[in-house]
């Protein structure tokens, strides 16, 4: 069962990364970044397609050299998802990938040289309708700011961001989004809160260098959850030392938990205890793997006993309540006469969930057409 999120989004201007709308109430975009060598075109294309398969709205690709820029041209020709080119210092690379059809430039204007070079990149972006992402990072603040503040602080990250924003403002370019990432949760959160009060452009969220799959997911969920609950954020990336595919999955899980954006199945499952009548953990793990291809938002509750099972099933699209040898089955909160043999729960549930996904997708489509 779908419930609207109570969160009121921060008002922001609208930009487009390829055909993906960003800001001004558009769905919060989930993105990741390739970790292959960009010059390895085959590997990079394969990773981008894997990211797209699990729902990535945008993918960032590092383009550190002209050789990488030439590779980017081939990568762009073989992929569909909007691509952001991550560029530092060399303005000529920005001009080259713009020529090759990049959808967004991640480049800090103040880091690419004199005014003439900055202007050439901005004018190229304007001419080709390419937005820019300003990306400030607590680990790479300007030397004079480190001398002034002694360490990364929210005020330091804000000042760095506003320097780059002021350059674009001076050049009358407003098609940009900004990030002020830090590896410390509180530093990042306060930096974004300060920045949100200063500009109207969209904000790209992230806890940078968050760590491995488990710890990084927790840090990102805590930090981004605080900001998203405040209505702050228009795109996000979960930065994990793990397969980038996991970044997309965690990003959608965070949005799903806040009822901001749903993609795929939201499994409501008990941690299991001695009351369980079937192996809840293995059942959920197996279903998650089997049903990754389903993009329709659905709530599926899998509870191992009758203590909490009926209550969760009442508010789920599909519900399962553990019973002795046979478990109860709910559809749209209604208990069905049909019961599932506990020895064959996964196959039975998969079939029911896939059939239900088609029905829910039809409901969503009909609702959208009625608006």
Domain annotation covers residue 6: no
Residues 204 and 164 in one domain: yes
User: Which of 196, 231, 257 is the last residue before a domain boundary?
Assistant: 257
Q: Is 138 helix (H, G, I), strand (E, B) or coil?
A: helix
The most distant pair of C-alpha atoms in the chain lies apart, rounded to whole Å, by 75
Whether the CB-CB separation of 62 and 68 falls below 8 Å is answered with: yes
Tell me how many domains the chain contains: 2
Residues 228 and 322 in one domain: no
Residues 148 and 199 in one domain: yes
Residues 25 and 134 in one domain: yes
User: Which of 223, 257, 291 is the last residue before a domain boundary?
Assistant: 257
The CATH number of whichever domain residue 58 belongs to comes to 3.20.20.20
Residues 56 and 202 in one domain: yes
CA neighbor of 1 nearest in space, from 337, 241, 250, 299: 299
Count other C-beta atoms under 10 Å from residue 116's C-beta.
8
Backbone CA torsion sign across 254, 258, 261, 264 = positive
User: Which of 227, 257, 287 is the last residue before a domain boundary?
Assistant: 257
Whether the CB-CB separation of 256 and 225 falls below 8 Å is answered with: no
Cβ-based burial of 297 (10 A; exposed 0-12, middle 13-18, buried ≥19): buried
Whether the CB-CB separation of 174 and 13 falls below 8 Å is answered with: yes
270 belongs to an annotated ligand binding site: yes
Domain that holds residue 327: 265-370
Residues 128 and 244 in one domain: yes
104 belongs to an annotated ligand binding site: no
Per-residue model confidence as pLDDT tens for the chain (371 residues): 446 678 999 999 999 999 999 999 999 999 999 999 999 999 999 999 999 999 999 999 999 999 999 999 999 999 999 999 999 889 999 999 999 999 999 998 778 878 889 999 999 999 999 999 999 999 888 999 999 999 999 999 999 999 999 999 999 999 999 999 999 999 999 999 999 999 999 999 999 988 899 999 999 999 999 999 999 999 999 999 999 999 999 999 999 999 999 888 999 998 878 889 899 999 999 999 999 888 889 999 999 998 888 899 999 999 999 998 999 999 999 999 999 999 999 999 999 999 999 998 888 878 777 76
Residues 181 and 276 in one domain: no
Residues 148 and 76 in one domain: yes
Residues 195 and 329 in one domain: no
Q: 0.85 exceeded by the pTM? A: yes
CA neighbor of 328 nearest in space, from 342, 343, 344, 346: 342
Domain annotation covers residue 319: yes
Give the span between the Cα atoms of 242 and 210, in whole angstroms: 11
305 belongs to an annotated ligand binding site: yes
The CATH number of whichever domain residue 355 belongs to comes to 3.30.413.10
Tell me the two tokens of residue 317: 């699209």
């Amino acid at each position: 069962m779908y419930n609207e999120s109570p969160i009121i989004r921060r008002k922001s201007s609208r930009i487009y990364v390829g055909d993906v709308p960003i800001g001004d109430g558009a769905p919060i975009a989930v993105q990741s970044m390739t970790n292959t060598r960009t010059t390895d075109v085959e590997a990079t294309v394969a990773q981008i397609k894997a990211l797209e398969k699990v729902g990535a709205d945008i993918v960032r690709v590092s383009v550190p050299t002209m050789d990488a820029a030439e590779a980017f041209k081939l990568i762009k020709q073989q992929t569909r998802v909007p691509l952001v080119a991550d560029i530092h210092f060399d303005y000529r690379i920005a001009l080259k990938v713009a020529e090759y059809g990049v959808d967004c430039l991640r480049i800090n204007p103040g880091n690419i040289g004199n005014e003439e070079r900055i202007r050439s990149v901005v004018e190229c972006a304007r001419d080709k309708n390419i937005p820019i992402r300003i990306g400030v990072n607590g680990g790479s603040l300007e030397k004079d700011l480190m001398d002034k503040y002694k360490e990364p602080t929210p005020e330091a990250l804000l000042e760095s961001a506003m320097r780059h924003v002021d350059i674009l403002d001076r050049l009358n370019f407003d098609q940009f989004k900004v990030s002020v990432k830090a590896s410390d949760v509180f530093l990042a959160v306060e930096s974004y809160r300060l920045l949100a009060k200063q500009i109207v452009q969209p904000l790209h969220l992230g806890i940078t260098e968050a760590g491995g799959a488990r710890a990084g997911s927790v840090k990102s969920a805590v930090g981004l959850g605080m900001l998203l609950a405040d209505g702050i954020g228009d795109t996000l990336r979960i930065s994990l030392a793990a397969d980038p595919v996991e970044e997309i999955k965690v990003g959608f899980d965070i949005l799903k938990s806040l009822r901001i954006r749903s993609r795929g199945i939201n499994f409501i499952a008990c941690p299991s205890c001695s009351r369980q009548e079937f192996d809840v953990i293995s059942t959920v793990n197996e279903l998650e793997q089997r049903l990754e291809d389903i993009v329709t938002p659905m709530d599926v509750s899998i509870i191992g006993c009758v203590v909490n099972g009926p209550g969760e099933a009442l508010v789920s699209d599909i519900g399962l309540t553990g019973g002795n040898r046979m478990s109860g089955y709910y559809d749209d909160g209604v208990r069905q006469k049909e019961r599932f043999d506990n020895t064959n729960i996964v196959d039975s549930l998969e079939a029911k969930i896939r059939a239900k996904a088609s029905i829910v997708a039809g409901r969503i489509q009909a609702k959208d057409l009625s608006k």
